[in-house]
Amino acid sequence: MQSLAEKHTQIIKRIARELGFDSCGIARAGFLEEDAPKLEAWLKNQMHGKMAYMENHFDLRLDPRLLVPGTKSVVSLAYNYGKKSLTAEENKPRISKYARGRDYHKVLKKKLKIFMERIREEIGDVQGRYFVDSGPLLERSWAVRAGLGWIGKNGNLILKKKGSYYFLCELLLDIELVPDVPVADLCGSCNRCVEACPTDAIVKPGVVDGSRCISYFTIELKEQFPEEYKEKAGAWIFGCDVCQEVCPWNIRFETDSNEKDFESKEYMHWGMEDWEKLSEQEFEEYLSGTALRRPGFTGLKKNIEVVKENMKKGKG
């Protein structure tokens, strides 16, 4: 006879499919014992750079039951943002694929709100919270525990026969569910991402020195671009996809996302002159509701100047 946990698990996975999520896995809430020393070492070695917020809520990051009291199950979800048909345009600034359309936080939070409503309609008085890269939660670690995939050498979660162009989000629920089984690490001896990283930010398998990552320089760093890394940024004015572009799992299995909100905005095809001419008013108008607002107008213009110089030198 089917248990209540099994019945509820089936309901949740069905709702996930109906809402367009590409993968849904479940883990039993608890303390991430293996992650604790890794996180401590990463912070101690200043690999978070100037991202001081990463030092906050250490205990909460390691145990969702402290973050949301009463949590019994962690539901991990993956949503495709891939665009296999989107290729880099020669002599034009580059933007990470995840930022080509509407800000994913806005899109996925809306879906998760509906998800929670559906759970309560079909199961009952379920309490919990949802997160989209917005709280002190080690989402990749929970995705691994939930059997969605494994952590690649570039630090990204890789889904078998799907790749890594996926947004991750979570539901922390106060009900017992049937946990999934973690999958094997299938990176094997492949070292392409490590060798391709322009700034050698991948210091060992699964560990990325964020303070040396192009995405960090172009999105999070509020100060001037470090001189020693300027040329290595190439044509990237926002983010960097190099370690994902060379990954065999993406080369073979990446698919175009069906999400209309993630379709490319006009700015994806702008040339250097268009970006140079961008005014603060146009920044507010054209980039409203997109991830490109993250570094602010001043930060984005800083990146544009770096890329302009790189293109002049033929480094773009």
Banded model confidence at residue 313, pLDDT cuts 50, 70, 90: confident
Banded model confidence at residue 199, pLDDT cuts 50, 70, 90: very high
Separation between Cα atoms, residue 185 and residue 18, nearest integer Å? 29
Contact 216, 50 (CB under 8 A): no
Banded model confidence at residue 315, pLDDT cuts 50, 70, 90: confident
Q: What is the mean pLDDT of residues 1-27?
A: 96
Extract long-range pairs of 254-257: CB within 8 Å, 24+ residues apart.
254/82, 254/83, 254/84, 254/163, 254/165, 255/80, 255/82, 255/84, 255/162, 256/82, 256/83, 256/84, 256/85, 257/80, 257/81, 257/82, 257/83, 257/165
Q: Percentage of the chain with pLDDT > 90?
A: 90
* 243-270 pLDDT per residue, tens: 999 999 999 999 999 999 999 888 888 9
Would you state the pLDDT for residue 293? 94
* 35-68 pLDDT per residue, tens: 999 999 999 999 999 999 999 999 999 999 999 9
Q: What is the mean pLDDT of residues 87-114?
A: 92
Would you state the pLDDT for residue 134? 82
- CA-closest candidate to residue 122, choices 3, 24, 4, 21: 4
Share the mean pLDDT of the chain. 95
Separation between Cα atoms, residue 64 and residue 59, nearest integer Å? 9
* Cα within 13 Å of Cα(2), Cβ side: 10
Catalytically active residues, by annotation: 133
Q: What is the mean pLDDT of residues 114-137?
A: 96
Separation between Cα atoms, residue 49 and residue 218, nearest integer Å? 13
Would you state the pLDDT for residue 108? 97
pLDDT at residue 138 is higher than 80: yes
Per the DSSP assignment, residues forming a β-bridge with 223 are none
Burial label, 255 (beta-carbon count in 10 A; 0-12, 13-18, 19+): middle
Q: What is the mean pLDDT of residues 274-301?
A: 94
Residues with Cβ within 8 Å of 105's Cβ and at least 6 positions away in sequence, in order, are: 132, 133, 134
Q: In this structure, is the dihedral angle defined by the CA atoms of residues 209, 215, 220 and 223, taken in order, positive or negative?
A: positive
Q: Percentage of the chain with pLDDT > 70?
A: 100
Residues with Cβ within 8 Å of 38's Cβ and at least 6 positions away in sequence, in order, are: 207
Q: Distance of CA 192 to CAs 81, 88, 152, 213, 302, Å?
A: 22, 19, 11, 16, 30
Q: What angle do CA 36, 41, 47 make, to 5 degrees?
A: 120
Would you state the pLDDT for residue 161? 96
Would you state the pLDDT for residue 18? 98
Cα 310 off chain centre by: 27
Amino acid at 270: W
Q: What is the mean pLDDT of residues 202-226?
A: 95
Would you state the pLDDT for residue 314? 84
Separation between Cα atoms, residue 24 and residue 47, nearest integer Å? 30
Residues with Cβ within 8 Å of 313's Cβ and at least 6 positions away in sequence, in order, are: 231
